[in-house]
Amino acid sequence: MKITAVLLLGLTALGSAQLEWWQTSTFYQVYPRSFKDGGFDGIGDIPGIIEKLDHFVDIGIGGVWLSPVFKSPMKDFGYDVSNFREIDPIFGTMADFDALVVGCRNRGLKLILDFVPNHSSDEHDWFIRSKAREDPYTDYYTWVDPAGYNATGAPIAPNNWISVFGGPAWEWVEERQQFYLHQFHAGQPDLNYRNPLVLEEMNDVLRFWLDKGADGFRLDAVPHLMEEPGLPDEPPTNDPNYGPDQWGSLEHIYTKDQPELYDIIYGFRDIVDQKQGELGRPLVMLVEAYTNITNTMKYYGNGTHPGAHFPFNFQLIDNLKNETDAAGLQSIINTWFSNLPSGAWSNWVVGNHDQPRVAGRFGTQFGLTSIILGQLLPGTAVTYNGEELNMENTWISWADTVDPQGCQAGPDEYWRFSRDPERTPFQWSAEAMAGFTTGSTTWLPINENYVTLNLEAQKVAAKSPYKVYKRLTEARKNIIAVQTGELRTYVLDTHIFSFARAVPAGNPSVLVVVNLGFEDQVVNANPNNDLPVIANFYTGSLEAVYAENEEVSTVSLAIPARGALVLTYDALV
């Protein structure tokens, strides 16, 4: 039997007094349109979130991150902001926001806002003035002359760049006789960060919300902030999975990950740090970057200048597959830690509003297993709303599809790209409309499984994802090994992987055993006798045969197919 132990974390101290709130917390992403409708228009809003604040406390959340609630024409459902300092009426009023801040404070919850620096809405006042060449807004966006005119007199785009949502990244504006760049929807013109006025405007937006009571930000889509100024064509990927107008058809070597963008991020961190000093409360800056691991790590800072407190770790989203075996999972984890700069803080994300739900990607059993991994691997855990119930993707017809990334792909292919399936309303109860709204319609259909898969049902069930989730967040708070224990990983068998979060004898250590295979197995999780023979079952898959706190034998553990067992034990030394 092959055993590989890797000691990856130097955090051997037992105490967590030196850790910050954002290190020990679980962050929870609220997708506001789908969380709770405080009214009856079928769209979630801030009053709805306020109604449900106690849910965050109940499930052990420390930081609530809201996807954008700012004024928006909703072409990308809030990621197209037409006023960075106003709340959209769909979501409520500034008074509602203020009440949310108070509600969070009263419960010891931190409130994180989504900051969308790459683009505004095409309905933003800056863009309207920019179109009209009204200074100082003339160069707030990336405007480019046509490459020429075709035989019919139509302007030709400056180059072959394609938007993330598909189709050209250039949109012609008659009024200005120029194209503007949009890396996402045409309703999301890219801001021009070569213009120092734009940077100053956006710095002010950060200051504004921190003054209003936000505890930090998640920075959206940052790899797209800068482009190569010569605007060269991007080379084709020749990937047969993508048509010529789809984003995957080009290598994005000139529109993503440009070296200049990191200084902008470090500058945003300076603003956050300055405000932290001024306001006297701890703030946090998180970054969303789909990029390779080397670039991901650059967001932490450059050694002299700090960047994000952490960029989201998407390794379990990008690399964990249904066919991954134990060595594969170990390698995903090792890759992350071997690239992590010294002193940098880890985190784990398994889902968000842009990714199919884990229950859909992996099936319900391994979906829950991936949530267990995300909570117990070293670092901060980030949960997407509904993961605490292991909510499933919802099938959405073409007629009901609203996500621009799905719509742009057309009726035959929308299902490959649409993000609607993971965005359907939260399933609170078996009542009409899943307890999400008192109205009679919802902006996206509710999953029909809400009758059985809902929070209320999971609260009363003997076993449920909700109950497992609560045990996990409790462990993060109460078991010091989960905060600071040394990580040791083991490949116990082709499909059996385990990891320990180890602290010296006298305090409980944690062992997580994962079955990546599709068969139930009985395993020896202690082949080199470095664990006690008896451990305690803490929590695990719903199919696990053990009861909470039951004594189990580490040399003979029954582990269900695709499942995970979480044990606590007292180390031998």
Q: Catalytic residues, which ones?
A: 220, 288
- Shortest separation between residue 146's beta carbon and ligand GLC, angstroms: 26
Q: Quick one: which H or E segment has residue 218? A: strand 216-219
- Give the bridge partners for 217, in sequence order: 113, 285
Tokens 């072409």 sit on residue? 75
Q: CB–CB of 94/85 below 8 Å?
A: no
Residues between 343 and 372 that touch ligand GLC (CB under 6 A)? 353-354
Distances (CA, A) of 268 to 194, 205, 264, 295: 15, 11, 6, 18
Q: Tokens in use for 401? A: 């599809």
The count of residues interacting with ligand GLC (CB under 6 A) is 9
Q: CA dihedral defined by 138, 144, 146, 147, rounded to 10 degrees?
A: 160
User: Closest distance between ligand GLC and the C-beta of residue 139, in Å?
Assistant: 22
Minimum Å distance from CB 361 to ligand GLC? 17
Q: Which is nearer to ligand GLC, 202 or 516 (CB)?
A: 202
Nearer to ligand GLC, 96 or 288 (CB): 288
Site for ligand GLC in 54-113 (CB under 6 A): 76, 79
- CB atoms inside a 10 Å sphere around CB 415: 16
Nearer to ligand GLC, 396 or 512 (CB): 396
Q: Does 234 bind ligand GLC (CB under 6 A)?
A: no
Closer of 349 and 468 to ligand GLC (Cβ): 349
Q: How far is the CB of 55 from ligand GLC (least distance, A)?
A: 23
Work out the number of other CB atoms within 10 angstroms of the CB of residue 34: 25
Residues 277-296 that bind ligand GLC (CB under 6 A): 288
CB distance 496 to 514 below 8 Å = yes
- Sign of the alpha-carbon dihedral angle for 429, 431, 432, 438: negative
Give 33 or 353: the residue with its C-beta nearer to ligand GLC.
353
CA distance 297 to 314: 12
Judge contact between 193 and 223, C-beta under 8 A.
no
String of DSSP letters for 495-563: TEEEEEEE--TTSEEEEEEEE-SSS-EEE-S-TTS-S-SEEEEEEE-TT-SPPTT-EEETTSEEE-TT-
Least distance in angstroms from the C-beta of 294 to ligand GLC: 20
Is 128 exposed, middle or buried (CB count within 10 Å of its CB: 0-12, 13-18, 19+)? middle
420 binds ligand GLC (CB under 6 A): no
d(Cα 475, Cα 470) in Å, to the nearest integer? 8
Contact between 41 and ligand GLC (CB under 6 A)?
no
CB of 402 to ligand GLC, least distance (A): 13
- Beta-carbon contacts of 347 under 8 Å, excluding residues fewer than 6 positions away, are 310, 312, 313, 379, 380, 381, 382
CB of 79 or CB of 450, closer to ligand GLC? 79
Element (H, E) at 424: none
- The alpha carbon torsion through 568, 569, 570, 571 (nearest 10 deg) reads -110
Q: Which is nearer to ligand GLC, 234 or 288 (CB)?
A: 288
Output the residue with the shortest Cβ distance to ligand GLC. 79
Nearer Cβ to ligand GLC (220/420)? 220
What is the rounded distance in angstroms from the CA atom of residue 107 to the CA atom of residue 445?
32
Q: How far is the CB of 116 from ligand GLC (least distance, A)?
A: 6
Min. distance of Cβ 168 from ligand GLC in angstroms? 17
Among 116, 289, 359, 567, binds ligand GLC (CB under 6 A): 116
In this chain, which of 181, 198, 221, 358 binds ligand GLC, going by CB under 6 A? 221
CB of 223 or CB of 367, closer to ligand GLC: 223
Q: Which is nearer to ligand GLC, 115 or 300 (CB)?
A: 115
Choosing from 45, 220, 227, 486, the residue that interacts with ligand GLC (CB under 6 A) is: 220
Q: Which of 184, 254, 299, 569 binds ligand GLC (CB under 6 A)?
A: 184
Pattern 437-476, binding to ligand GLC, x per CB under 6 A? ----------------------------------------
Instruction: Tell me how far CA of residue 67 lies from CA of 2, 76, 80, 120, 137, in angstroms.
Output: 44, 12, 12, 15, 27
Size (the chain), residues: 573
Say what angle helices 261-279 and 196-211 make with each other, to 10 degrees.
Answer: 30
Question: For residues 205 and 115, is the Cβ–Cβ distance under 8 A?
Answer: yes
CB within 8 A of 70, min separation 6: which ones? 78, 81, 82, 83, 84, 85, 86, 87, 88
Residues that bind ligand GLC (CB under 6 A): 76, 79, 116, 184, 220-221, 288, 353-354
